[in-house]
Amino acid sequence: MLILGIDTSCDDTCASVVEDGVRIISNIVSNQTEIHKKYGGIVPELASRRHIEMIWPVVDEAVKVAVIKPEDLSAIAVCHGPGLIGSLLVGCSFAKAICYSKNIPLVTVNHLEGHIFSCFLDERGPEFPFLSLIVSGGHTCLYRVDGFGRYRELGRTRDDAAGEAYDKVSKLLGLGYPGGTVIDKLAHNGNPDAIDFPRPYLPESFDFSFSGLKTAVKLEVEKLRRCEDRGFSTSQPLNFLTSYVCDIAASFQASVVDVLVRKTEWAVKKERIKRVALSGGVSANSELRKRMKEMGDAIGVEIFIPSVSLCTDNAAMIAAAGYHHFNTGNIAGLDLNPQAYLPL
The per-residue pLDDT for 122 is: 86
**Same-domain pairing of 157 and 273:** yes
- Whether 344 is in a domain gets the answer no
| N-terminal to C-terminal alpha carbon distance within the chain | 25
Low-confidence residues in the chain, pLDDT < 50: 228-229, 232-235, 240
Specify whether the CB–CB gap between 336 and 96 falls below 8 A.
yes
In terms of residues, how long is the chain? Answer: 344
Domain of 40 in residue numbering reads as 2-118+311-327
Domain of 89: which CATH number?
3.30.420.40
The per-residue pLDDT for 242 is: 78
**Same-domain pairing of 28 and 162:** no
**Same-domain pairing of 92 and 144:** no
Interacting residues of 82 by C-beta distance below 8 A, sequence separation 6+: 9, 110, 111, 112, 138, 339, 340, 341, 342, 343
Task: Provide the 3-class DSSP secondary structure of residue 15.
Answer: strand
Domain count, the chain: 2
The per-residue pLDDT for 49 is: 98
Put simply, whether the predicted model's pTM sits higher than 0.95 gets the answer no
The per-residue pLDDT for 225 is: 74
The per-residue pLDDT for 142 is: 98
